Amino acid sequence: MSVIADETGAQRALGYVIDVGDPESARCWLDVTEAHTNRHDVLHGGIASLLLDSAMGATGSLTVDPAGRAPFLTVSLTTQFLTPARAGERVTAVGRITGGGRSLLFIAGELRADTGTLVASATGVFKRVPDRTG
């Protein structure tokens, strides 16, 4: 397992971890606490979307960087919220490439609770950030 933790301000603030150990699909997980919930005491939709976006972007990164650190930009992200997650649960987002070409990747994502329940799904378009070092 190869994890990316505490790399960004968002990761430090929210406490999520990205796992890039699988060369074809990144995962992003979070142990949900009250700090992650909305006024209905369930995981905030923005945080669910962030987890999906992170897993999907890291999945794109794995296509060019086995360490999962090559930056990709989110061009579009559509999230469907299906079931609430609550404090005390771990949720895990997984990305899967569904298509694309040289400049854009189409990636799907699923966010599941530790019970296996599908919390949210997403589709997105991602673009690699050009290398400006050479």
Assessment of whether the complete model's pTM goes beyond 0.85: yes
3-state SS track over 5-46: CCCCHHHHHHCCEEECCCCCCCEEEEECCHHHECCCCCECHH
CATH number at residue 110: 3.10.129.10
Asked, for residue 93, whether it belongs to a domain, the answer is yes
Dist. CA 74–CA 79, nearest whole Å: 13
Q: Please report the sign of the dihedral spanned by the C-alpha atoms of residue 26, residue 30, residue 36, residue 38.
A: positive
Percent of the chain with pLDDT over 90: 81
pLDDT value, residue 28: 97
Segment 13-18 shows an average pLDDT of: 96
Confidence of residue 1 (pLDDT cuts 50, 70, 90): low
Asked, for residue 35, whether it belongs to a domain, the answer is yes
Residue 76 has pLDDT above 60, yes or no: yes
pLDDT value, residue 25: 95
> What is the amino acid identity at position 127?
K
User: Considering its fold, how many domains does the chain have in total?
Assistant: 1
User: Residue 80 is part of which domain span?
Assistant: 3-128
Sheet holding 27-31, edge to edge: 3-4, 17-19, 27-31, 90-100, 104-113, 118-128, 72-81
Residue 12 has pLDDT above 80, yes or no: yes
Asked, for residue 133, whether it belongs to a domain, the answer is no
Token readout for 35 is: 């700090």
pLDDT value, residue 132: 67
Segment 92-111 shows an average pLDDT of: 96
